[in-house]
Amino acid sequence: MKMKTIVIAIGGNSLIKDAEHRSVVDQYAAVVETAHHIADLVARGFRVVITHGNGPQVGFILLRSEHSRGLLHEVPLDSIGADTQGAIGYQIQQAMQNDFRRRGLTKSVATVVTQALVDKNDPAFQKPTKPIGQFYKKEEAEDRMRVEKWSMVEDAGRGWRRVVASPKPTRIIEADAIKHLVASGCIVIAAGGGGIPVVQDEQGDLHGAAAVIDKDLASAVLAKEIAADMLVISTAVEKVYLNFGKPDQKALDRLTVAEAKQYMTEGHFKPGSMLPKIQACIQFIENGGKEALITCPETLPLALDGKTGTRIVA
């Protein structure tokens, strides 16, 4: 029986539980919990690729860079993405390795620093919308815009904040390497934070871009390129809901692509929350994927058995 390959995109709740638990030690404790649930799937014979977010961690590095302004060089955003991929990947792979040892499983785990190709002419570069980093006073923001050439916006009276482009990923540069590792039985952590955004010049050379890629959309691209059987998006809720948070909210066990598009049009899924997850699932299926699944880390094994979660199918 062919072993199924699944790409699991783990959300921010798998790394930082709340505002009171943001230290590296706290993050590792959260990772251990999620790693245990994923190890359950590996123990059952699934081939697994893990992707993850990195928004708060990028913010932390930007803040450190701000406090060391004048003492150390600035860290470009693409390098920050690489830094977080390494640090978070290290935590996940260590947690997985420890869990495997306790189970008596002999499995290799590796983190791949991953680049995601974006179109240099993507309209997102002309209209940056993704907020990153800290809030600034108006005078500070004007200085950053003049000297650093940042795009900045005022945020509802809370101060000014840097915004960067969020272009769509078109290809995962390291997809072939990831595919070979998976075929050899390795558990792979890849496309952290949506991948490091890179553009290609006329000669074919790659260059880092000051942008942020949605990790769910990048996970869908990666799942397609490695021919995964399923895209799994692990988030804070067990299922997808209509009218979420309202008295008449309704859990969904199964969604067709057409139904998902209809509910999107009706405004059931919020931007920055469930909407990009649904969009990623639709993209994966429309590009040849068999099915997608949305659930929370604790219910991953049950969801794969069809006992909970929301499945999206063609």
- Positions marked catalytic: 12-13, 130, 215, 277
* DSSP H/E element including 217: helix 215-225
* DSSP H/E element including 133: strand 130-136
Q: Which amino acid is at 306?
A: G
- The total of other beta-carbon atoms located within 10 Å of residue 230's CB is 19
Task: Measure CA 290 to chain center.
Answer: 21
Helices marked H in 44-189: 55-67, 77-103, 138-147, 175-183
Q: What are phi and psi of 253, to 5 degrees?
A: -85, -30
DSSP state of 13: G
Instruction: Find, among 179, 138, 177, the residue nearest to 155 by Cα.
Output: 138
Q: Which amino acid is at 209?
A: A
What residues pair up with 291 in beta bridges, in sequence order? 230, 313
What is the C-alpha end-to-end distance of the chain, expressed in Å?
24
Rounded CA-CA distance 313/190 in Å is: 25
